[in-house]
Structure 1
Amino acid sequence: MYKQAFISENPYDLVILDLTVPDGMGGLETIQELLKFDSKVKAIISSGYSNDPIMANYKDHGFCGTISKPYTKADISEKLNKVLREKY
């Protein structure tokens, strides 16, 4: 879906990826795939495991920010606004 949007006239502004997806592709694997065709992807990694090394070193893995679960509407709003304002 991201790739289709990327090549269309309506690309995504930002994606939020869950670090762990049981029986699926987690955030780290997903960001690696997205970066192959969009080096400027804005992605936030989300997890309930705030002590995970990927959460601590998110920029090293291509993410623009983190948000720990559980989060409130205010938390997500603040994080989205911050990431969308910054230039990467």
Structure 2
Amino acid sequence: MNINPHGDASHCRTVLLVDDEKMVLEVGKAILQRLGHQVVTALSGEEAIEQFNQYREFIGCVVLDLTMPGMDGKATFTALRELSPHLPIILASGLSVDQVMSQFESDSPASVIQKPYQIADLSAKIEAVFTKDA
């Protein structure tokens, strides 16, 4: 992974993309890069924590699959929140937004995106996260 620490923050923001399906990671990464973001990927919750720890100073947002074997999305969400309480996390799921949000109590995700991703929807949700912090 080659992160450019001198990239223009308004045009090049790093997203940690987490999904246990390699094809989803590849497509998601291509979409995010086309939208001007740098991307760090992880195939599991455990790998997501490792990648976050390695690139935490660059990562501005996480797109996290809710349903994964092993350390699932909810456990990964909790672990990431412990490492960085204000990190914007967008949960990706085939479930409805209400079904996803009902799994979280006081500490809810920044947003929920339906899978499979639609380019415009993914772009809008990530842009909303980054502009909220600007």
TM tier relative to shorter chain:
0.7 to 0.9
Taking structure 2 as the reference length, the TM-score comes to 0.54
Cα RMSD, aligned residues only: 2.2
**Shift >6 Å, 4+ stretches:** none
Tell me if 1:68 matches 2:118. no
The question of whether the paired residues in 2 share the 8 Å contact of 1:15 and 1:42 is answered with yes
Name the count of aligned residue pairs: 83
Q: Which has the higher strand share?
A: 2
The gaps in structure 2 that reach 5 residues or longer are: 1-50
Taking structure 1 as the reference length, the TM-score comes to 0.78
The alpha carbon displacement at 1:59 in A equals 7.3
Bigger Rg, structure 1 or 2? 2
Distance 2:113 2:88 in 1: 14
The alpha carbon displacement at 1:27 in A equals 1.5
Q: Deviations over 1:51-78 (max 9, x none)?
A: 6633357573341111011221111111
Distance 1:67 1:85 in 2: 17
Of the two structures, which has the highest relative contact order with CA contacts closer than 8 Å and spacing of 6 or more? 1
Report percent identity of matched pairs: 31
Aligned AA (2:61): L
Tell me if 1:3 matches 2:21. no
